[in-house]
Amino acid sequence: MSAAADRRISWYTGARHIRKQEDLRKIADMKIVLPEKVNKIITALEARGYEAYAVGGCVRDSLLGRTPQDWDITTSAKPEQVKQLFSHTIDTGIAHGTVTVMLQREGFEVTTYRIDGEYEDARHPKEVQFTADLREDLRRRDFTINAMAYNETAGLVDAFDGMADLNSGVIRCVGKAAERFSEDALRMLRAVRFAAQLGFFIEEETKDAIRQLAPSLAKVSAERIQAELVKLLVSAHPKELRTAYETGLTAVFLPELDRMMVCEQHHPHHCCSVGDHTIEALGNVTADRVLRLAVLLHDVAKPLCRTTDENGIDHFYGHPAKGAELARRILRRLKFDNDTTDAVCRLIAWHDDRPALSERSVRRAVHRIGTEQYPAIFAVKRADILAQSDYRREEKLAYVAEYERIYQEIRRKQQCLTIRDLAVGGRELIAAGMKPGREIGEALERLLELVLDDPSCNTKERLLAEAEKMIQ
């Protein structure tokens, strides 16, 4: 090790020591406002001689000034003792010491202090052992920032320097990172997710352990991976997906991204690989799960569609349609619901569609693509353009702006875009003498074609007159 490197380490260690002393003084005065019901549960347990604390993510978020999504409680009381104390409980994880206490239809997980035994499936301990030692319970948790407990009697309990890491913006495992990830492989992806949500960085030992153990993520169910991926994507820093790639995690659950990362785009419109472009684009769209999934996968088929012409220019003909097919397989593999899958795939299929800038062409585009995809399609287009090279960028953005303006004008005028918008329906056509069945559907499609060309035709009188011609 060089002298300079040694000096840097010494400075860092000293700085952390100073900061730690400052943090300890802060911790002594740290106060978290517990929700009334949480405090009620803790107070009831303490009144019976048990220890009880809010623990984990709710403590972390409170210290960060964020609103916790839920509140978990840890206690020295055994599950049966918790059940005796509260009138309405649910055995949500009794084998692992967890009882849900219901207060006015709101549930709070109360878990007995425990020590986890050997893990055999990279998720569940073979057995658990209850303990009376809070520190031992905190020791089994994933990251230091999640291993803090709080109640109004004792204040903040921080046995593993979670507060220091919170102040420094560090994701660090409790104890040895390799052991924590061997216990539950999903923790590796959770580390990246927390970095994305909080704007933190993953310390090197923790990151090295992820690189080493990334293949074990294959043992985790698709449903659990999906949940973490979505949280990462809709976070404030979705570009942390790059960390998931660099540590080998995406090779397990999204190998298509790895192929995108090494697929170059030699073309004036682009300045980086397909994967780099995609990660950059993620930050250009609002934190909506459908939008960010669509941006994540909008170019997923480019590695399959790449051709290079005689001038060395790359082309990706047909990648939107092919991408929609591939994205559907990916989303099904990750167990996404059908509605999300359909919405994402339609956006991918049409993200490169460029209708002429006229009301007639835009009406037909909206009908072709589907009204439910608007205005999301504009957001995807802008995200795509902003992650490309500067070449003709302003021109492309101006096109999208005018496209959206025309669309909004069409909506303002309440112009017909679907069969549902026609001034006549099947009943009116039957009343006019048309036979029920396929003929009705075909007639409505023909009438819609007429109205898409000329919205002024969308009157009952005009459409019935056209229908009369069809009957004759």
pLDDT at 122: 53
Going from the C-alpha of 172 to that of each of 71, 229, 268, 293, the distances in angstroms are: 22, 20, 42, 28
Is the distance from CB of 458 to CB of 451 less than 8 angstroms?
yes
pLDDT of residue 24: 41
pLDDT at 4 (0 to 100): 35
Which pLDDT score, from 0 to 100, does residue 125 have? Answer: 61
Dihedral sign, Cα of residue 406, residue 412, residue 414, residue 420:
positive
Q: How far apart are CA 172 and CA 191, in angstroms?
A: 8
**pTM of the predicted model, to two decimals?**
0.89
Which of the 8 DSSP states describes residue 263? -
Q: Collect all residues with Cβ–Cβ distance below 8 Å to 152 and sequence separation of at least 6.
A: 34, 39, 42
Tokens 């976070």 belong to which residue? 235
Strand partners, 103: 106
The helix or strand, by DSSP H or E, that contains position 276, with its residue range, turns out to be helix 274-282
Under 8 Å CB-to-CB from 259, ≥6 apart: which residues? 303
Closest CA to 263 of 300, 298, 317, 312: 300
Residue 164 is encoded by which pair of tokens? 């220091």
Q: pLDDT under 70 in the chain at which residues?
A: 1-30, 117-126, 472
For 107-126, the pLDDT digits (tens) are 999 999 999 756 555 556 66
Note if the bond before 375 is cis, omega within 30 degrees: yes
The pairing of beta strand 98-103 with beta strand 89-93: antiparallel
